[in-house]
Amino acid sequence: MRVRSVVIVVVALCALTGLVAYAAVGTLVSPSVAGASVHRLDARPVTSRPSEAEQPGCSATGFALPRGSVGYWLAGADGSVYSCGNAPWYGSLPSMGITPDGPVVGIAGCSSGYLLTTSTGAVYAFGSAPYQGGANTLPLTGPIVGIVATPGCWGGYWLVSANGGVFTFGGEADFLGSAGGLQLKEPMVGMAAPTEPIATCIVTREPCASAYWLVAADGGVFTYNSPNNSNNSEGTVLGSSANFLGSTGCLALNKPVVGMAASPDTTHVGGNTACNSGPLGPGGYWLVTSDGGIFAFGNAPFLGSTGCIVLNEPIVGMMVSTDATTVGNESACLPRNGPGGSYGLAPGGYMMVASDGGVFAFGNASFGGSLPGSGISVSDVVGIAPASVP
């Protein structure tokens, strides 16, 4: 784990997009069984009898046979994990008899597993997700508010605190600076990293560049880039940059920003630059507010929001779609099963989740179920993460 006190200040440029709404709900599916693990203890999901339901749904305990073409996990503040669609269930804190010393505030999807983090910086790894440390042994000056992982989580992960501190774990999750030394107008609420660069480095077995964005509750965006986000000796661009593409820091928002997600950078997917056309190419990002308003920057397309819908509960997070989408008929541009072992990309869609587990899908994002639609009543969901099915 490396923590250094580098500060980068980025001045804001504002952009605003329109508001269009679409919502989806799911239905209850029926049982199967899954195992669980914490801190490097491997678990293997086991399925039993087939589901009788035709529609995707979510499970609170793994007693549901994965269904559908897409999957994702929802996390609760007590460490509960809900598997939706075809996402396997690898366990939860309650299932392990663990009561965290602070509420869970984020979840990151890995290759055959997931990571949870708490406000105290403790990190819990399930399935084959690699545990590489936590910030709970450090004298934090602000609560942890989120976690972002490298593709598959094998390269490591970042934690971000409300006061802008960044904490890095693993060999490829570089520390590139933080806002911990700044006087913030509003607390940090989230973090995102470009979805392409580390994956490319893993595939090419070259040293990796990295980058990330931080976002505050007022929509202020702070960018941090590696000086190595450049060409290697053979002239191949390995890293995408976390470019500053705009913010809502100078807008009067109806509701606070609660999260962000990165749009895929397809400029150098598989060494193929044919993807660098149309709405794709160098990446972008979305910001989401608690009423489901979406603000799109860079190549991130605006595909709808819940800003004009009266929600039962506030939105708490979002994720980029992991659905397959043909880009310019170039096979090198195709996503390959999401953010896990095959390191694919998936432009063109996003999902958001509310605190009651309601899930809203936009663009090419396939709906894999929601908690209300699955007969599960909760009010403490804190995040959503895409699943990479083994």
Amino acid sitting at position 376: I
Read off the pLDDT of each residue in 280-299 and give the average, rounded to a whole number.
Answer: 86
Taking 80 as the threshold, does the pLDDT of residue 32 lie above it? no
Q: Does residue 14 or residue 185 have the better pLDDT?
A: 185
Q: Does residue 113 or residue 241 have the better pLDDT?
A: 113
Query: What pairs with residue 55 in β-bridges?
Result: none
Out of 137-141, 181-185, 271-275, 301-305, which region has the weakest mean confidence (pLDDT)?
271-275
**Whole-Å CA distances, 103 to 93, 281, 304, 380:** 11, 38, 31, 10
Buried b (16+ CB within 10 A) or exposed e, 253-270: beebbbbbbbbbbbbbbb
- CATH 3.90.79.10 fits domain 58-386: no
Mean pLDDT, rounded, of the chain:
74
Radius of gyration of the chain (CA): 19
pLDDT bracket for residue 201 (50, 70, 90): low
Residue 97 has a pLDDT of: 96
**Exposed, middle or buried, 276 (CB in 10 Å: 0-12/13-18/19+)?**
middle
Terminal alpha carbon distance of the chain: 28
Q: Spell out the domain ranges in the chain.
A: 58-386
pLDDT bracket for residue 389 (50, 70, 90): very low
Residue 340 has a pLDDT of: 33
| pTM (predicted TM-score) | 0.77
Taking 50 as the threshold, does the pLDDT of residue 41 lie above it? no
What span, in angstroms and rounded, lies between the C-alpha atoms of 280 and 123? Answer: 34
Residue 129 has a pLDDT of: 94
pLDDT bracket for residue 388 (50, 70, 90): low
Q: Does residue 328 or residue 263 have the better pLDDT?
A: 263
pLDDT bracket for residue 168 (50, 70, 90): very high
pLDDT bracket for residue 196 (50, 70, 90): low
Can you say whether the dihedral through the CA atoms of 177, 121, 321, 18 is positive or negative?
negative
pLDDT bracket for residue 153 (50, 70, 90): confident
What span, in angstroms and rounded, lies between the C-alpha atoms of 344 and 386? Answer: 12
DSSP H/E element including 296: strand 294-297
Percent of the chain with pLDDT strictly greater than 70 = 64
Residue 361 has a pLDDT of: 94
Q: Does residue 200 or residue 86 have the better pLDDT?
A: 86
DSSP class of 131: P
> Closest Cα to residue 75, out of 62, 92, 96, 90?
92
pLDDT bracket for residue 242 (50, 70, 90): confident
Taking 60 as the threshold, does the pLDDT of residue 387 lie above it? yes
Residue 169 has a pLDDT of: 96
Buried b (16+ CB within 10 A) or exposed e, 187-209: bbbbbbbbbbbbbbbbebeeebb
pLDDT bracket for residue 143 (50, 70, 90): very high
Q: Report the range out of 72-81, 144-153, 329-338 with the highest average pLDDT.
A: 72-81
Residue 323 has a pLDDT of: 57
